Every structure is written in C-alpha cells, then in structure tokens.
Structure 1
Amino acid sequence: MYFADKPASSASIQNDPVFKLNDATLGAYLDQLMKSLSIGDMETVALEMSDRFKKGTGGTYKSDVLNKKIAGNDAFITYHNKFLTDFKKELKKSNYDPAAMGVISMGLLNFSSFWDKVSGLGITVHQVWSAKAEILDYSYNKCTKVWSGKLKYTFYDHYGLDWDDIVKHGGDIIPQYHTGDFFKAWYILQHYRTARPFITEMEKSVDLNGNSDKD
C-alpha cells in the first residue's frame, strides 16, 4: 500500500478544510474514529494500530486479542466450515496424503456485520486481502483409518486507505457527524504526511480429525 505519494486522483482533497489541519489534530481525528467504532479490548487494539500508523513504524502488527476475536466470529466460523468441506474432499481424493493434495481456492474473510462495524473488527480489518491455510501435525493410521491434524489459518490485511475509501466514506455522518472527516484525516496522514500503513497478521488454528471409512 502506498504512502507519502500524493496521488493525482486525490488532488481535490487539498482543497478540503481537513487538509489544512496539523498532524496532531489529524491524529486525534483518527483516534476518535477508532474509538467510535470499537469497544472493550478491541478499542485498545484499534488505538495501538492507530499509534503504529502515525509513528510510521510499518512492518507487521500481531495481536492475541485480534486472533481471539476472529476465532469466535460468526464470519470466521462460516468461512472455516466452507473451507473444511473443500479440504476434506481434496484429502479424500489424495488418498489421505496431504503432500498429494491439489491447490484449494480460498475466499477473502470479510467482517461486515453490524456487530463487526460497531465492535472493532470492521474498522481494524474489515476484509482480509490474503489468506493461507496449512495442515500441521498430520497423521493417518491405515489400520484404523483415523486421521488427525491441525489446520492453521493465517490472514493478512493492511492498515491504510486508498482514494476509493474516501469516495465511499468521506461523507459519513454515522456514528458521529464528522466521521467522514475522520476518514479524510486517516487518508491525509498516509498519503500527504508522514504516517505509514502496515501489515496486520492474524492466526487461528483448528484441530481436525476424521475416519477415511466415514468421511
């Protein structure tokens, strides 16, 4: 994701009153956006992410809190169930040898329910842009036909905005009247000041087991 690039597509934002604000005020706007769209320990996560962004730290951000919130989220449960169905089909086709399995297509996990939008996952992640699944600690007993292992998901997102986000949210007045200005502050800090986006990495492991005679 780009930063400090002053894209021509967003030149019009330089005429917006928000653009004239100093970095400290823009940063306070971003923090207010995070607070208004997160609660409890997810507010702590959101503010940690905001702080990392404003300091220009870059790199990769990880959080046990974020991992736990994803694990218990309905969107992840639905996502996992769908992928598990595809995984079991491929495992059976490969005679229960993961090394012989073909590539399984993965969708993009999306946190867009009303609860996600007000509790924190909507503003900190919303939609992941990359996903990976690995089978670990796998074993298969040819006598008992029992197999087991661990499915490890890794999801990646970026904490940053592009101009399409401002086109979509720059006029928002919910949950606060100036929410649109808060989004503009986020964008301006990234593309016209010294803030820097970063990668958010999230993990979740699920224990698996089955029986090849019954799968």
Structure 2
Amino acid sequence: MLNLREIKGGIYEDEVLTRNIKDHPETIAYCQQVEDYIAEQLKTKLAKLEEVEDNDPYFEKKEGKESFFSNSKGKREAKRKKFTKPMYSYGNPIEATKGLTIATNDIWSAEVILKEVKFSGDDYTGKYEVTLWDHFGLDLPDMEKKFNIIPSIGEVFVCWFILQHLRGYKPFITKITFTREFMGNLQKGMTELDAEREKERKEKARELNEQIQIDIWTSPKF
C-alpha cells in the first residue's frame, strides 16, 4: 500500500528505464547531435583546449514562431547550438503507449560530460556520459493540456496537483545516466559529417531505386 506521508521526493533511478532510454531512436538521434558537436569543438578548438569545454548551461526559448538558445544570463548564444535534449512526448501516438511518455515525457535537463579522448594521428576515439533529469511534478501548463478533458485523467491530475502544491508532497526526480563511445577525425566537423551522411543517404536511395528497377524488369509478366 502506498503511504503518501512517506513521499518526500528524492532521486529515482531504474536499470530497465535507463536501458530503454539509451536504446530509444530519439536518444540515438540526440547522441548523434552530441557527437557532431564534440567533433566540431575538437576540429576548431583543439589548439585552445580551454575553449573545447562548454560549461555554460543554455536553454531553448521561443518568441512567437522563432526558436533560439540563450545562456544562463539570458543572452542569445552566437553559436546557436543545434540540440538541447531528447523528448519522449505525446507527439507520436504509438510511442505514447509504450511507457516512456508517462515515465519521462519532457526531459527537464541534459548534461554531457566528455570522459576521455584517445588520439592516433588525426583519428580519435572517445567516451562521454549523458545524464538526463526529469521531475515527476505538475505545473499550471500541465493542467491546461487538452487531454485533461477526459474525466479519468482530469480527476487524477487535479488530485496530483493538490498533493504537490497545496499539501506539500514533493515530486521525485528521475535520473537517467549512460555512457557512449564514438570515433572521429580532427579534419571532420559538423559540416563534413553532414555532407558524408547526405552522400550516404543519396547512395542508398540510388541503390534502392536500381533494385526496384531490376525487380520490375525481372518479375513475371502476365
């Protein structure tokens, strides 16, 4: 039986949740952006190692339809970073039924730490650690979402909101930590890596088109 008097927040971690987050396509796509950013930093700033490290937290903000990144002092980032965090939200109805949406939904913050880099000429291998944070709490925008018109959901959210904001029960903080390894070359930053992937995509499309043409010509004719 759940005793609400014992709920005082704290940090929640789970191996199954972490494994599923690590292997999720949204996470893999996010990590690709992380590795591209690391590659760009190493390519352009290796001579000044103190500039490779990026300690200033930044946030994605929106003004109308425009999205931009700002640093902790509210100043717009000139670098215009291309990524913030992975999300496992209700935008995809199929994904919403698999558990990660209710377990995490909108990641609160993400932290990436480059643990090691080993060089062999211009080639290198590295390892980085990703920590994702999410809090299992409600705020006013949550209460205004459209799905709250469903009676069973709306009632649960009202009780949840009252417990958190009027009764003093703290939501727990979900922590997800995993490491990844990667390879790169000091001559290749974001531009070069994007060009390589585009070339590979076009080559695969060409091969697929050729195979379709072969299948058409060799298929039985009636």
Q: TM-score, normalised by structure 1?
A: 0.65
Pick closer, same or farther for the CA change 1:95–1:171 going to 2, 3 Å.
Answer: closer
Alpha-carbon shift at residue 170 of structure 1 (Å): 6.7
Alignment gaps of 5+ in structure 2:
55-78, 190-222
| In structure 2, C-alpha distance between the alignment counterparts of 1:77 and 1:54, rounded to whole Å | 39
Aligned to 1:64: 15
1:132 matched to 2:111: yes
Tell me, yes or no, if the aligned pair for 1:53 and 1:198 is still in contact at 8 Å: no
> Pick from 164, 171, 195: which aligns with 1:197?
171
| In structure 1, C-alpha distance between the alignment counterparts of 2:9 and 2:110, rounded to whole Å | 20
**CA-atom RMSD in angstroms:** 2.7
After superposition, give the CA deviation of every residue in 1:94-125 in whole Å (9 maximum; x if it has no partner). Answer: 22875540528451321123233212111121
Aligned to 1:118: 97
Pick closer, same or farther for the CA change 1:67–1:209 going to 2, 3 Å.
Answer: same
| In structure 1, C-alpha distance between the alignment counterparts of 2:105 and 2:133, rounded to whole Å | 11
Tell me, yes or no, if the aligned pair for 1:54 and 1:194 is still in contact at 8 Å: no
SS at match of 1:109: coil
| In structure 2, C-alpha distance between the alignment counterparts of 1:133 and 1:98, rounded to whole Å | 17
The count of corresponding residues between Structure 1 and Structure 2 is 161
| In structure 2, C-alpha distance between the alignment counterparts of 1:196 and 1:81, rounded to whole Å | 34
Aligned to 2:73: none
Alignment gaps of 5+ in structure 1:
1-23, 25-50
| In structure 2, C-alpha distance between the alignment counterparts of 1:52 and 1:190, rounded to whole Å | 15
- CA radius of gyration, larger in: 2
1:184 matched to 2:158: yes
Aligned to 2:135: 158
